[in-house]
Amino acid sequence: MPPRTWISDADNQSAIWVCGRAPVQRYSSGQSHFYTWAQIAGIFIFSIYAPPRLSHEEFTGLLSNIVDEARGKTPILVAGDFNAWSTEWGSRETKPRGEALLDALAPLDVLLLNTEEVIAGGVNRSTGGTTASRSVGGVASGCVDALSELAAVRTRDHLSRGVRRRSETATQGDKSEQTPLLEQLCDEADCDVWGKPYRVVMSRLRAPRTSPPSAPELVRRAVSTLFPMIVPRPIDAPPLLEEHLIPEVGVEELRWAYGRVRIGAAPGPDGIPNIALKAAVEACFENFRHVFTVCLRKGCFPTRWKRQRLVLMLKPGKPAMEPSSYRPLCMLDTAGKILERIIAGRLETHTEGPAGLADSQYGFRKGRSTVDAIQAVLSTARTAISGKRWHRGTKEYCAIITLDVRNAFNSARWNKILIALNQMEVPAYLLRIVSSYFLDRVLEFTTDDGSETFEVTAGVPQGSVLGPILWNVMYDRILRLKLPRSAKIVGFADDIAVTVVAKHLDLVEFYSNETIRLVRAALTDLGLQTADQKTEVLLVTSRKVRETITLRAGDHYITSAPCIRYLGVHIDARLRFDEHLRIVNDKANRVAGALLGIMPKHRRSKEQST
């Protein structure tokens, strides 16, 4: 028998019972609610029980959690009693739960099994039960016996095919008979091309997510690479003020903070679903308000809320065995994120004030976007090449330089952040709780060897609420550097773009090199490093003959390219955007081709006839 034969969720509402000798390779932590999963003989099996008492919002939140957990896990078998009605599995009608279930499972690339061909006795087709799940005494249990059932599934190749949301009982020769849901989606697409049908189809076209790495050596190397060990300098917390001088958490302040919590987002290490926490806040509103007020007045961020559950996401096109190929996301307890939001809201009144952030920072700020940052760069370049002739005229060259900061967010020094907050005249009680927020942070991660922890000594957690505003505060020093008169700097989060304007190429090179030197030195003083080999240079000019410049970034020499990519936009030397349009057009053609491939043939015929 395998070492673990009964795997259940936190409430014993769903379970997987392994009856045979199939090896259990991985399994759920047991903290989820209403569902559990296990990898058995290479196949990921999900067992789910969605009780009828769940509201529609709770039901969709549960589906979102399941889909987030299931992404990248292949091959997969989803088995459960969803208490959902749909004509897809033989119900008399399709109800909101059934529609929500079909929409949620669409991105998982799975095939509906409980049809006339494979339906088993005792399974309730009208409420969304499946052949691999049954309800026993209120507990949904997925029973796997010697993989005989799974062998049949593999034989039919159901696990690797795309989603086919059509009735299996329909007559194959009758092309005009389609499911009501598909017809409804087509009709909705005629009314709103960017609505629900668009979202469903695009979820089908996205590449499947890969599973997070679990090999112990790789995960540990990734953790040590992405979370550098930095000997922390002593943090002198400001003196504790009289409690009455620290404003209590207001009613509207708390409502705003917990109202921003997304129902479908995955929970943190405590495993409490967001929908349950929001319900708890509403039921015990004054208790939560009192707790958060005490935290602010005592200058104490609870240690339990400093745990960070690590999720490593492989960057597109990067080698899976390289530690730097992964983007680290930190799952935090939602209760702590509510307190973070309260702190961030109070900090924002100072960071957006007269002594606050530089106007050239466009990232993580209300009313600003990548479009604004791109326009700021392009405006300088357009002005430089506009006007009359070169000699004795106003035309000039403009160099656009983009710099990349290596592992930026995880390398931010805590003492530098606190110094910057103090310079912005942030109240002492906020400095004190931010100091507490940094201390004793623990990273939790899982490998094939089991659960492990890692002490965090720097950085702002990617996935936190406070992280972005604290990053902006520290980074503000870079955006306020005294640069050569012809140079301007634009920031979007950790992305830096520098424009240097001059009449002659030798001056462009001189001022550009000096600007790069100053920026690199300031970043080094903050404890940050530039990935010099990723530096890009574009020489914007209206001259017909192509000219280039060569700049130095550290030990690297970079020659200007005919086109660079900045915040998702390809900018060329003439500011014509020919290359950007070509790339976007190619992507649009690929999507259009994929859409045509999955559109019902009768629909296209109908459109052609009209």
Q: What is the DSSP string of 471-487?
A: HHHHHHHHHT----TTE
Instruction: Mark whether 511 and 398 lie in a shared domain.
Output: yes
Instruction: Mark whether 578 and 463 lie in a shared domain.
Output: no
Q: What is the pLDDT of residue 160?
A: 34
Instruction: Mark whether 345 and 494 lie in a shared domain.
Output: no
Strands 139-144 and 14-18: parallel
Question: What is the side-by-side order of every strand in the sheet holding 487-492?
Answer: 487-492, 495-502, 397-403, 536-540
Q: What is the pLDDT of residue 602?
A: 42
Using the 3D structure, point to which of 467, 491, 516 is the last residue of a domain: 467
Instruction: Mark whether 440 and 577 lie in a shared domain.
Output: no
Look at residue 201 and tell me if it is in a domain: no
Angstrom distance (rounded) from CA 608 to CA 610 = 5
Q: What is the pLDDT of residue 234?
A: 61
Residue carrying the six token digits 């040590």? 224
DSSP 106: G
Angstrom distance (rounded) from CA 466 to CA 340 = 6
Band the pLDDT of 593: cuts 50, 70, 90. confident
Both structure tokens of 196 = 């629900």
Q: Is residue 249 predicted with pLDDT exceeding 80? A: yes
Instruction: Mark whether 506 and 572 lie in a shared domain.
Output: yes
Q: Is residue 221 predicted with pLDDT exceeding 80? A: yes
| φ and ψ of 495, to 5 deg | -80, 135
Q: What's the pTM value of the predicted model, to 2 decimals?
A: 0.68
Angstrom distance (rounded) from CA 207 to CA 516 = 37
Structure confidence by residue, pLDDT tens digits, 293-343: 999 999 999 999 999 999 998 888 888 888 889 999 999 999 999 999 999
Look at residue 208 and tell me if it is in a domain: no
Look at residue 149 and tell me if it is in a domain: no
Q: How many CB atoms lie within 10 A of CB 232?
A: 15
Instruction: Mark whether 495 and 569 lie in a shared domain.
Output: yes
Q: What is the pLDDT of residue 126?
A: 39
Residue type for 41, please? Answer: A
Structure confidence by residue, pLDDT tens digits, 125-181: 434 544 333 322 222 333 333 233 533 333 333 333 333 333 333 334 444 444 566
Look at residue 362 and tell me if it is in a domain: no
DSSP 51: -
Instruction: Mark whether 444 and 328 lie in a shared domain.
Output: yes
Band the pLDDT of 89: cuts 50, 70, 90. confident
Residue type for 343, please? Answer: I
State the SS3 of 352-406. CCCCCCCCCECCCCCCCCHHHHHHHHHHHHHHHHCCCCCCCCCCCEEEEEEECEE
Q: What is the pLDDT of residue 599?
A: 60
Instruction: Mark whether 522 and 457 lie in a shared domain.
Output: no
Which residues partner with 403 through β-bridges?
Answer: 496
Q: What is the pLDDT of residue 588?
A: 83
Residue type for 248, please? Answer: E
Q: What is the pLDDT of residue 193?
A: 62
Cβ–Cβ under 8 Å, residues 54 and 97: no
Look at residue 314 and tell me if it is in a domain: yes
Q: Is residue 71 predicted with pLDDT exceeding 90? A: no
Query: Is the bond preceding residue 75 a cis peptide, omega within 30 degrees?
Result: yes
CATH code at 32? 3.60.10.10
Look at residue 331 and tell me if it is in a domain: yes
Classify burial at 72, counting beta carbons within 10 Å of its beta carbon; exposed 0-12, middle 13-18, buried 19 or more.
Answer: middle
Instruction: Mark whether 296 and 314 lie in a shared domain.
Output: yes
Q: What is the pLDDT of residue 138?
A: 28
Q: Is residue 482 predicted with pLDDT exceeding 90? A: yes
Q: What is the pLDDT of residue 95?
A: 87
Q: Is residue 450 predicted with pLDDT exceeding 60? A: yes
Angstrom distance (rounded) from CA 495 to CA 361 = 10
The least confident of 74-88, 362-376, 543-557 is: 74-88
Band the pLDDT of 115: cuts 50, 70, 90. low
Both structure tokens of 268 = 């943190």
Q: What is the pLDDT of residue 100?
A: 85
Q: How many domains does the chain have?
A: 3
Q: What is the pLDDT of residue 172?
A: 41
Instruction: Mark whether 462 and 585 lie in a shared domain.
Output: no
DSSP string, 432-462: HHHHHHHTTEEEEEEETTEEEEEEE-S---T
Q: By percentage, how much of the chain surpasses pLDDT 70? A: 79
Interior CA angle at 114 toward 111 and 120, to 5°? Answer: 145
Q: What is the pLDDT of residue 416?
A: 94
Look at residue 188 and tell me if it is in a domain: no
The least confident of 59-73, 88-102, 172-186, 424-438 is: 172-186
Using the 3D structure, point to which of 98, 133, 168 is the last residue of a domain: 133
Cβ–Cβ under 8 Å, residues 271 and 32: yes
Look at residue 259 and tell me if it is in a domain: yes
Structure confidence by residue, pLDDT tens digits, 557-583: 999 999 999 999 999 999 999 989 998
Instruction: Mark whether 348 and 484 lie in a shared domain.
Output: no
Q: What is the pLDDT of residue 262?
A: 86
Centroid of chain to Cα 538:
30
Classify burial at 203, counting beta carbons within 10 Å of its beta carbon; exposed 0-12, middle 13-18, buried 19 or more.
Answer: middle
Angstrom distance (rounded) from CA 17 to CA 5 = 6
Angstrom distance (rounded) from CA 509 to CA 501 = 10
Q: Could you tell me which residue, 592 or 313, shows the higher pLDDT? A: 313
Using the 3D structure, point to which of 93, 113, 133 is the last residue of a domain: 133
Instruction: Mark whether 436 and 346 lie in a shared domain.
Output: yes
Angstrom distance (rounded) from CA 371 to CA 577 = 15
Residue type for 72, please? Answer: G
Q: Could you tell me which residue, 469 or 96, shows the higher pLDDT? A: 469
Cβ–Cβ under 8 Å, residues 49 and 34: yes
Angstrom distance (rounded) from CA 477 to CA 103 = 46
Containing structural domain, residue 569: 384-403+472-589
Average pLDDT, the chain: 82
Q: What is the pLDDT of residue 164?
A: 37
Band the pLDDT of 543: cuts 50, 70, 90. confident
DSSP string, 113-129: --STTT--TT--GGGT-
Angstrom distance (rounded) from CA 510 to CA 512 = 5
Q: What is the pLDDT of residue 365?
A: 93
